[in-house]
Chains A and B, each alone.
Chain A
Amino acid sequence: DTEVTQTPKHLVMGMTNKKSLKCEQHMGHRAMYWYKQKAKKPPELMFVYSYEKLSINESVPSRFSPECPNSSLLNLHLHALQPEDSALYLCASSQVSSGRNEQFFGPGTRLTVL
Chain B
Amino acid sequence: GESVGLHLPTLSVQEGDNSIINCAYSNSASDYFIWYKQESGKGPQFIIDIRSNMDKRQGQRVTVLLNKTVKHLSLQIAATQPGDSAVYFCAENSPRSGANNLFFGTGTRLTVIP
Q: Give residues of chain B (93-108) contacting chain A, Cβ–Cβ below 8 Å.
A: 93, 95-107
Q: Residues 49-65 of chain A: 1 if any B CB is under 8 Å from the residue's CB, otherwise 0?
A: 11000011000000000
Q: Do B43 and A105 touch across chains, with their CB atoms under 8 A apart?
A: yes
Q: Which residues of A contact B66 (CB under 8 A)?
A: none
In chain A, what residue has the closest Cβ to B45?
A105
**Are A48 and B101 closer than 8 Å at their CB atoms?**
yes
* B44 vs chain A, min Cβ distance (A): 5
Number of A-B contacts (CB under 8 A): 71
Candidate in A41, A102, A106 with the most chain B CB atoms within 10 angstroms? A102
A100/B51 in contact, CB under 8 A: yes
The count of chain B contact residues (Cβ–Cβ below 8 Å) is 27
Within 8 A of B (CB), among A62-106: 90, 92, 94, 96-106
Query: Separation in Å of the B16 CB from the closest CB of chain A?
Result: 28
With A and B bound together, what is the CA distance between A37 and B46 in angstroms?
Answer: 17
Tell me if A21 is interfacial: C-beta within 8 Å of chain B: no
> What's the dominant secondary structure at chain B's contact region?
strand
CB-CB under 8 A for A98 and B100, given A42-B105, A42-B106, A42-B107:
yes
Instruction: Mark contacts of A30-44 with chain B using CB atoms, 8 A cut-off: 1 yes-contact digit, 0 otherwise.
Output: 010000000011111
* Inter-chain contact B49/A56, CB cutoff 8 Å: no
Is the pair B42, A104 in contact by a Cβ cutoff of 8 Å?
no
* Residue contact B46 to A55, C-beta cutoff 8 Å: no
Q: Shortest distance in angstroms between A7's beta carbon and chain B's nearest beta carbon?
A: 13
B43 contacts A107, C-beta separation under 8 Å: yes
- B73 within 8 Å of A (CB atoms): no
Write the residues of chain B forming the contact surface with A, with a CB cutoff of 8 angstroms.
31-32, 34, 36, 41-46, 49, 51, 89, 93, 95-107
* 20 additional contacts (CB under 8 A) given A42-B107, A92-B43: A4-B43, A41-B107, A45-B101, A48-B97, A50-B99, A55-B97, A55-B99, A56-B96, A56-B97, A90-B43, A94-B99, A96-B100, A97-B100, A100-B32, A100-B51, A101-B95, A101-B100, A102-B49, A107-B41, A107-B43
Q: List 5 A-B contacts (CB under 8 A).
A: A40-B107, A42-B105, A99-B31, A106-B43, A107-B41
